[in-house]
Structures are given as structure tokens and as C-alpha cells.
Chain A
């Protein structure tokens, strides 16, 4: 009979019964339905060790092993090697166990002695195909979830943005009235009276604060208007560091810039990206009230799976092989609370409400980065503080 299944399969058989192992070997090695390269181990421990060094397409697993019994064996392999399709091969026939095995990630459930070479070959090949489809589905699902969360974020932001300009106009007029009123009273009232001066200054400060909030809100409304051109990321960083130099010095923060020379230019709106970097720097400074260190790095690399995990839900803008320029800003502060990490880019989320934080800085930063099709992510660095990573795609001409 000619070969039905064309692809060679590397099969890991986990079986401690020598006779059963022999049967499987003869079925797979002699069958002409497909071509199998079979390796045998007798315990889960050996299997896990072998999987570290050798790649297998599929695993045939007995449930009654010396170091592991029942579905625990399935869980152990699945936990470490989620991508490996597993077909359970057992002597005990139990419908409920079979269904349970399939629910918990097995591709099929075979009963020893009840199948012939063709059925075994077919089960293994189908397991590989099913697992492949399952993984593709999982990737598509993850992508959909990421897109959904981006859409929700965009919706939140556009909602705030839409309200912003209307509110701004209505609020700025009374603010202007208050400020000019204070100026007039400042001229006319008794400067010797401390309480009068204090009152006027408080009114003035409050009006100015309200104006700052309005200004931040307006940033949302104007976020779509960018003037993008080729820029040197290192220059933008130097400029942003100059901007925050005073705060660093007065907070006893040592700045260490490790900027890679001759980075490819990226097409951005310089002022907006500077706004993003300054905001990230200020957040890092706020996280180190008792002083500390700030490390700013820039580098170029090719986008790959390992970078994907560094850039979170912005990874959709990049594909493997893209040339990217990255910036990381790392502090030695107290880090970000785990429960805050999910909300950190939400509008009006702030951990500094008492100190006057409005909670728009980082959500504006994220919106700016998204509009540039760039990435931004914040994470904790174990035992160190927090790290922000920014990523831009390099677009080469031609």
C-alpha cells in the first residue's frame, strides 16, 4: 500500500510496559501509512529531559507510569510543552476518563489492543494537524483580544477627546475672568494683610491648576494633528533629559544615558515624542522621592518574538523582521503595583491624585505612540523598579 501521510513524524512514546512498547514500535515502524521516527522513554521525568534536547511532533502517552498516574501525566507534559500534541494510549477503558483527557488537552484517547496500525497512524497525524489548527486559533483569538482591548482604549480616549474641546472653551472663559479679577484685586487690596494676599494667591493658583487640566484635555483633542518627519531619537532624548534635568538634580537622581550612536532615523512628530519621553521621565522621577538612578538606553534591533513580550499590546504594529529603534527608561523606584499595571494607561487613572496628578499623562503618551504606530509598555524590573520601553519602526526608502 502506498504512503497516505506524506510528512515524517518524530514520535515520543512514553510507555513503561515493554510489551506494549514493542507493539507500538512494530506498528509504527512497519506501517506504510506514514513514516515515523520513534523514541521511547519509560517515565515522565525522562520524557521531560528528552524534550529539552530533542524536538518531537507528537507524543503517545501511557497513563499508568511509575512516576505518574492518570491524567496527572498529561497535565505535567502539557504544562511544560503546551505546543506538543498528545495522544493518550491506555489499557483501561473508561469513557469518562477519555472525555476528561480530551477536555484537558489530549488530542485523542486510544485503548491498547483495540486499534490497528492504520488507526494509530491516523490518530497521530490527525493529532498533529488538530494541534496546529488549535494553536492557530489560539493566536487568532489572542490577536482579537488585543485588538479589542486597543479598541476599548481608543474609544475611551476619543470619548474624552470629543468632550475636551467643548469643555475647554466653556471653562476657559470663566477662568480668564477669575484670573483678571484676581489681578485687579491684587492691585487694589491691602498688600500688608497676609490673609488677603494668601486668599488671592490661592484663587490664582487654583485657576491656573484648572487651566493646566484643560490644557491636558485639549492635548487629546489635537492628538491627530501630527507633523512627522525623520528624526534622531537620541537627540529627542537629550532634549527631554535637559527638560527634566532640574527635577533630577533636586531629587538627587543620577541619570545614566547609554545611547547607541548612529541609530537609523524614525519618522515622528518630534514635539509629541518629546512629550511622551518627558512624561515617562517625570513618572520615573516621582517614583523616586528619596533619590535613585535613572537609566536611559537606545538601541536598534530586528523585531522578533522576544521583543513582542516587551511591548505588550502594541506588538500588533510590528511584524517579525521589522527594523526597530527602541528606548528604555528604567528607574530604581518602588515599581508599579500589580493591580495598577492594567489601568496605567487609562485616562484619569493616577496614583498621585493627592499630589495633584490628573491621570492624563500616560494615556496621552500611549495615544501619541499608537498614532505613530509605535509601542509603549511599562513593566516592573525584579528588585529594581519600573521600566518603560518605547519602540518605533524604521521605514527605509525604496
Chain B
């Protein structure tokens, strides 16, 4: 069985490394890290991920702008995006049913279980 490909775009190096380690340890996923929002589009085009985990607040280019770039690209517009953000609380995410602006949201820090469940919901 081939591994599902996940791209994580987040300027927090340490955080992206931990997400990669944990998701790859499940044995179902292969994770690529991109720490610069401005490079997200080109990395995604090369890597062809099944799912993108995307930080909201990043220097240079913020998460919602990255989504706009992805949506304009025919190869990437259908790739599901899950926002990872420290700007809202778990409660705020729960109140919104886990979706804000049509995208799934995970509040930082959330439990690993929640992150894995969310990934599983999107790409199995």
C-alpha cells in the first residue's frame, strides 16, 4: 500500500518536525515540510500532496493567501487543506464545528489524536 502524501506548511521548524515524526510513525503517511509560505505553491506542485496542513499566520505569505494560490491552480485546487492555527482556541474551533471559511481547522496545541483523526477523515 502506497503512503498518503502530506505537505505541512508552517514557519515553526520544530513544530513541523514533530508533526512529520508523529504522522510518519503511524505508518500510513509520508510528510514533506515547507517552512516558507512563499514556497508553498512550488513545493506543492512538485510534491503533489494528498493533503496540505497549513499554518495561518506566517511571515511573507499567510495561510489564506496560500489557499488562494492553490485554488487557482488546476492541479492543486481539489487538494484538501487543513488549517493549523494558534490564533483561535479549541473551544472556538468546536463552536464552529471544526470548520472556518469552508476549511477544517485544528487549534494549536491540540492532541496528536485529534490531528491524526482529522487527517484520517480527509484522506483515510
Segment at the A interface, from B18-26, B62-70, B96-104: B18-26
The interface residues of chain B lying within 8 Å CB-to-CB of A180 are 15, 18-19, 21-22, 109, 112
The interface residues of chain B lying within 8 Å CB-to-CB of A174 are 12, 14-15
List the 8 closest pairs (A to B, CB-CB), nearest first. Answer: A172-B86, A180-B18, A176-B109, A176-B108, A177-B14, A183-B112, A177-B15, A173-B12
A181 at the A/B interface (Cβ < 8 Å)? yes
Contact A173 B22 (CB under 8 A): no
Interface-central residue, A179, A207, A211, by most chain B CB under 10 Å: A179
Residue of A nearest to B116 (CB): A183
Contact A172 B25 (CB under 8 A): no
Q: How far is the CA of A215 from the CA of B22 in the complex (A)?
A: 25
Give the interface size class of chain A.
20 to 34
Among B14, B86, B111, which residue has its beta carbon within 8 angstroms of that of A169?
B86
B57 at the A/B interface (Cβ < 8 Å)? yes
How many A-B residue pairs have C-beta atoms within 8 angstroms? Tell me: 58
How many residues of chain B are within 8 Å of chain A by beta carbon?
A: 18
B77 at the A/B interface (Cβ < 8 Å)? no
Contact A177 B18 (CB under 8 A): yes
Give me the interface of A with B, judged by CB distance under 8 Å: 165, 168-169, 172-181, 183-184, 187-188, 207, 211, 215, 218
Q: How far is the CA of A188 from the CA of B111 in the complex (A)?
A: 17
Contact B22 A177 (CB under 8 A): no
Looking at the assembled complex, report how far the CB atom of B91 sits from the nearest CB atom of chain A, in whole angstroms. Answer: 8
Q: Tell me whether chain A's interface is mostly helix, strand or loop, or mixed.
A: helix
Interface-central residue, A174, A180, A181, by most chain B CB under 10 Å: A180
Among A168, A178, A179, A187, which residue has its beta carbon within 8 angstroms of that of B86?
A168
Q: How far is the CA of A176 from the CA of B112 in the complex (A)?
A: 9
Known: A169-B87, A179-B109, A181-B18. 4 other contacts (CB 8 A): A176-B108, A176-B110, A177-B18, A187-B25
Contact A175 B109 (CB under 8 A): yes
Looking at the assembled complex, report how far the CB atom of A59 sits from the nearest CB atom of chain B, in whole angstroms. Answer: 63
Looking at the assembled complex, report how far the CB atom of B70 sits from the nearest CB atom of chain A, in whole angstroms. Answer: 22
Given contacts A176-B108, A207-B109, contact A218 B89 (CB under 8 A): yes
* Complex A-B: 12 CB contacts under 8 Å: A165-B87, A168-B86, A169-B87, A172-B86, A176-B12, A176-B109, A180-B15, A180-B21, A180-B112, A183-B22, A183-B112, A207-B109
Residue of A nearest to B16 (CB): A177
Q: How far is the CA of A200 from the CA of B25 in the complex (A)?
A: 18
The interface residues of chain A lying within 8 Å CB-to-CB of B108 are 172-173, 175-176
Contact B57 A169 (CB under 8 A): yes
Q: How far is the CA of A295 from the CA of B17 in the complex (A)?
A: 52
Q: B81-124 CB contact bits vs A (8 Å, 1 = yes)? A: 00000110100000000000000000011111000000000000
Contact B86 A176 (CB under 8 A): yes
Q: How far is the CA of A188 from the CA of B25 in the complex (A)?
A: 9
Q: B24-57 CB contact bits vs A (8 Å, 1 = yes)? A: 0100000000000000000000000000000001
Q: How far is the CA of A173 from the CA of B22 in the complex (A)?
A: 16
The interface residues of chain A lying within 8 Å CB-to-CB of B17 are 177
Q: How far is the CA of A173 from the CA of B55 in the complex (A)?
A: 10
Contact A184 B18 (CB under 8 A): yes
The interface residues of chain B lying within 8 Å CB-to-CB of A178 are 109
The interface residues of chain A lying within 8 Å CB-to-CB of B14 are 174, 177, 181
The interface residues of chain A lying within 8 Å CB-to-CB of B89 are 215, 218
Looking at the assembled complex, report how far the CB atom of A179 sits from the nearest CB atom of chain B, in whole angstroms. Answer: 5
Given contacts A172-B109, A173-B15, A207-B109, contact A184 B87 (CB under 8 A): no
Residue of B nearest to A169 (CB): B86
Looking at the assembled complex, report how far the CB atom of B64 sits from the nearest CB atom of chain A, in whole angstroms. Answer: 16
Among B15, B19, B21, B109, which residue has its beta carbon within 8 angstroms of that of A211?
B109
Residue of A nearest to B19 (CB): A180
Looking at the assembled complex, report how far the CB atom of B26 sits from the nearest CB atom of chain A, in whole angstroms. Answer: 10
Residue of A nearest to B12 (CB): A173
Looking at the assembled complex, report how far the CB atom of A188 sits from the nearest CB atom of chain B, in whole angstroms. Answer: 8
Q: How far is the CA of A176 from the CA of B14 in the complex (A)?
A: 9
Contact B86 A184 (CB under 8 A): no
Residue of B nearest to A181 (CB): B18
Among A169, A179, A184, which residue has its beta carbon within 8 angstroms of that of B21?
A184
Among A172, A184, A211, which residue has its beta carbon within 8 angstroms of that of B22?
A184
Contact B12 A177 (CB under 8 A): yes
Contact A173 B18 (CB under 8 A): no
Contact B25 A184 (CB under 8 A): yes
Looking at the assembled complex, report how far the CB atom of A255 sits from the nearest CB atom of chain B, in whole angstroms. Answer: 26
The interface residues of chain A lying within 8 Å CB-to-CB of B109 are 172, 175-176, 178-180, 207, 211
